[in-house]
Amino acid sequence: MNILGINQIPGMLSWMHDSSSALVKNGKIVAIAEEERFNRVRHHRGYPHKSHAYCLKEGGISLNDVDYIAVPYNPYAFLKHPNLRLESLARNVFNMFACWHYKQQMKKQANAEVVYISHHLTHAASAYYCSGYDKANILTIDGSGETESFAFFVGENEKIRRVWDIPIASFFSGGKWQSIGLIYTSVTSLLNLGVNGEGKTMGLASYGKPEYDFSDILNIRTHNDFTIDRRKLLEKYGHLQRKENGPITQEHKNLAASLQHSLEKSVVNLAKEAFEYSGIKNFCLAGGVTLNCNTNSELLKQDFCDSIFIQPAANDGGIALGAALEQSARAGDPVGQKLENAYFGPGFDNKYIENVLSGAKVKYRRAKNIAQETAQLITQGKIVAWFQGRMEMGPRALGNRSILADPTREGIADSVNNSVKHREAWRPFAPSVAEEDASKYFQGVEKLKSSPFMLHTFFVRDEYQSKLPAITHVDGSSRIQTVRADQNEKYYNLIKEIENINGYAIVLNTSFNDKGEPIICTPQDALRCFFATGLDALAIGDFIVEK
């Protein structure tokens, strides 16, 4: 069956963000993309018109060929867990009618049946059905679902069963105070690190010590024995509010570290409780909070955890995929699969790319061996944009829309920051490393074996910290992506070509975009960003453009 997943419908009053679309055919993933990549508005909210059109085109079908449209939102969830505050009731009733109207509209327009699936279940489905596990504990953690901020499911034999959750609010609550994700967001706001700046808070935490008490703010012992109350944050630590563009003090760093410590402890406790219930040592994680690499790696260290799977679009950008997979499973399609790569977005062949280059009247050359020639540029100290194959899904660049540099070069991280990315100097850069060489450079990789989606943090071995300064964070950690030839042959070949020159099968990898914009999607986007920033070269398809 053809199942189209879409994150958000027209006219809905939604808290969701990162609108996206996904197409699943007979249980197999065909296409996934976030709307922001097409309309160039970061974390876009609203109907995903362009990504929806892309998915249908990639699948070679029209809307009339779609059997189901799966939406990751249950408009009736509030009836079982009502919040009696007038504003919440009004919004929920409005959305219920908006969902009914869209369902009727699609029945007339395309004869496709619209199905609504709960937010946290779609998070769970996006992870479990892509994990390759038969049995797994599934933890979903984010800012807010319809009525919860955390849910625990068990996945077994391609079926998902909800076990328990943590509600975001009580009947008369004036806000979503019991939200794990929104506590992290609130600290990020207190530190004035920007909207969607939670990753910055995680990076800042490495500079601090967990000296502040979060026991009455975020302290989860079990799913029914917890303290989650973001109101207490301002009461206790409002005096630490950082002014816009003000200095980051040691107090700010310590506050971030205290939050991170509380999050890690809370998530480990929730995972331990899940293991004690099921006896299963495999974990699937999803939801925006699970983009927190340090927390994921803290869970991996536990004796009750053998393995973890997190799909690359673990935030709301992946729930369209989860909705499509869950509906495929309900329709009887075999959906269990091992997601080996994240490349389900648009791709462009050499003919298209050359037409764009020649049309823009830029000087370019065709490389005899694009991996070899790009490796030479990188090891010469050049900052190179790498545009190849189909675009990645999720917020991390994974080797097809990346900016690359030589991590062995002292000062290269500052160069990337100052001339290209224009971001805070204290934020770390991540590496991509050949999978077979990962344990050579990093401690703890052996248990996980692979980290293809850059969702775990490991520590650089002592003997390599001074040799790989550009990807070693202040605490010695590094958020790594492992790469195999069968996952991304061209990118793997590039990494090995770099090794042939400087002896290190590793490259600094950051997303191909400027500050404040989404990751690059098209060759036109690539050229614009290339000429607007301090990039030295662009390797696009089999072509190289230099300044």
Cβ neighbours of residue 368 closer than 8 Å, sequence gap 6 or more: none
Got the DSSP string for 62-84? -GGG-SEEEES--TTHHHHS---
Q: What pLDDT is attached to residue 175?
A: 58
Which tokens sit at 547?
């300044």
Which is the CATH superfamily of the domain at 167-310?
ATPase, nucleotide binding domain (3.30.420.40)
In angstroms, the first-to-last Cα distance of the chain is 49
Q: What pLDDT is attached to residue 168?
A: 86
172/82 Cα distance (integer angstroms): 9
Strand ranges across the sheet with 457-460: 442-443, 457-460, 477-479
DSSP bridge pairs for 69? 4, 114
Query: CATH classification of 350-546, choosing from 3.30.2320.80, 3.90.870.20, 3.30.420.40, 3.90.1150.10?
Result: 3.90.870.20
How many CB atoms are closer than 10 A to CB 489?
13
Question: 2-130+313-330 sits in which CATH class?
Answer: alpha beta
507/287 Cα distance (integer angstroms): 28
Q: What pLDDT is attached to residue 339?
A: 98
Question: Are 317 and 7 a contacting pair, CB within 8 Å?
Answer: yes
Tokens 């679009």, residue located: 313
- Per residue in 9-47, pLDDT (tens digit) is 998 887 778 999 999 999 999 999 999 999 999 999 999
385/146 Cα distance (integer angstroms): 40
For the chain, list residues with pLDDT below 50. Answer: 172
**Domains 2-130+313-330 and 350-546 agree in fold:** no
How many CB atoms are closer than 10 A to CB 39?
17
Cβ neighbours of residue 359 closer than 8 Å, sequence gap 6 or more: none
Q: What pLDDT is attached to residue 79?
A: 84
Q: What pLDDT is attached to residue 90?
A: 86
DSSP secondary structure letter of residue 353: H
What is the value of pTM for the model shown? 0.96
Q: For the chain, give the number of residues.
A: 547
How do the domains of the chain map onto residue ranges? 2-130+313-330, 167-310, 350-546
Question: Distance of CA 48 to CAs 34, 36, 360, 470, Å?
Answer: 8, 9, 29, 37
Question: Are 318 and 126 a contacting pair, CB within 8 Å?
Answer: yes
Which tokens sit at 271?
């995972």
Q: What angle do CA 141, 130, 50 make, to 5 degrees?
A: 80
427/49 Cα distance (integer angstroms): 34
Q: What pLDDT is attached to residue 178?
A: 86
Which tokens sit at 159?
């079926």
63/56 Cα distance (integer angstroms): 7
Q: What pLDDT is attached to residue 173?
A: 52
498/491 Cα distance (integer angstroms): 11
Contacts 24+ apart (CB under 8 A), 296-302: 296/455, 296/456, 296/457, 297/444, 297/456, 297/457, 297/458, 298/264, 298/267, 298/268, 299/267, 299/268, 299/271, 300/444, 300/447, 300/448, 300/456, 301/444, 302/268, 302/271, 302/272
E strand intervals along 184-281: 218-222, 225-228
Question: Are 22 and 29 a contacting pair, CB within 8 Å?
Answer: yes
Which tokens sit at 156?
């077994």
Question: Distance of CA 275 to CAs 135, 165, 297, 299, Å?
Answer: 12, 15, 17, 12
Which tokens sit at 161?
């069963």
Pairing of strands 477-479, 384-387: unpaired
500/375 Cα distance (integer angstroms): 9
DSSP secondary structure letter of residue 519: P
Q: What pLDDT is attached to residue 399?
A: 99
Cβ neighbours of residue 149 closer than 8 Å, sequence gap 6 or more: 141, 142, 143, 166, 167, 168, 176, 178, 179, 180, 181, 182, 228
Tokens 């979060």, residue located: 214
Q: What pLDDT is attached to residue 425?
A: 87
119/46 Cα distance (integer angstroms): 16
Q: What pLDDT is attached to residue 16?
A: 75
What's the burial of 84, exposed, middle or buried (CB within 10 Å: 0-12/13-18/19+)?
Answer: exposed
User: Phi and psi at residue 478, in whole multiples of 5°?
Assistant: -160, 135
